[in-house]
Copies of this chain bind each other. A is one copy, B any other.
Amino acid sequence: MRDAIITLTTDFGEASPYVAAVKGVILGIHGAARIVDLSHEIPAHDVRAASFFLASSIVYFPPGVLHVVVVDPGVGSERALLFVEIGGHRLLAPDNGCWTELARRVGGAPRVIRLEDEGYWRQPVSATFHGRDILAPVAGWLSRGLDPALLGPVIAQWTSLNLPQPELTPNRLRGEVVFVDRFGNLITNIPAEPWASMAARGARIEVGAAEVAQISRTYADVAAGTVTALVSSSNTLEIAVAEGSAASRLGAKVGTRVQVTATG
């Protein structure tokens, strides 16, 4: 039963007992749940990083899987906790916008329920660990087949994360680095399509103050050490250094401006 798969995405870090506590609570309610770790290394309290992570990974999962997200700088405040269903994907997450970019990419209207029925929560509820005391037990119940409608009211308003959107004009594309992977590759928010056409006609690519001279299909197409622009696996503009780190070479990080200017 696909419903019995529960994924976890947190900013707890690999060393803390918090991840283990969440797993224990889930298994205490549903011993047959199959827990799949997505990452526990989302940068601490970084809702924007969580947003990129979810938008880049949840889309590959089959419908019915339940995704629990605990990146929750507002824990204990009045921020709500949500059950979200979008394009068949099901999430439990704080109402901090971490899932709205995913929804935008998936398209369609999400069904959003605010968790209110405390009967499905662990008692007493800690003021600082709703992942363990609310999201984990609710995940356990949902994976056992509980109807989400029982969790609380359907709501029509929620927090949206306003991610910086690229400016795409016929002669210039402006965006920024949204993720630096472990290889130092720079993933930007400039979509592959306007970029590839512009590049085919001739274009100058700038990352911060540096210029990228080369364009290639993949890393292996250029000599080691060459800075190159290519289409990322997320179908956006990516800047890489073959067998090296573009982040180190160009001094770039999340937020660094990227600009493509037509020259042809």
What CA separation (Å) do A76 and B75 show in the bound complex? 43
What CA separation (Å) do A23 and B18 show in the bound complex? 22
Tell me, rounded to whole Å, the shortest Cβ–Cβ distance linking A141 to chain B. Answer: 14
Q: Is A221 on the interface with B (CB-CB < 8 A)?
A: yes
- How many interface residues does chain A have, given as a range? 35 or more
Query: Do A61 and B28 touch (CB < 8 A)?
Result: yes
The contact string, 1 if C-beta is below 8 Å from chain B, for chain A 65-94, is 100000001111101000000000000000
Interface residues of A (CB under 8 A from B): 1-2, 5, 7, 9, 11-21, 23-25, 27-28, 31, 34-45, 52-53, 56-62, 65, 73-77, 79, 126-129, 132-133, 179, 181-183, 217-221, 230-233, 235, 238, 243
Tell me, rounded to whole Å, the shortest Cβ–Cβ distance linking A253 to chain B. Answer: 14
Tell me, rounded to whole Å, the shortest Cβ–Cβ distance linking A61 to chain B. Answer: 4
What CA separation (Å) do A128 and B133 show in the bound complex? 40
Residues of chain B contacted by A76 (CB below 8 angstroms): 217-221
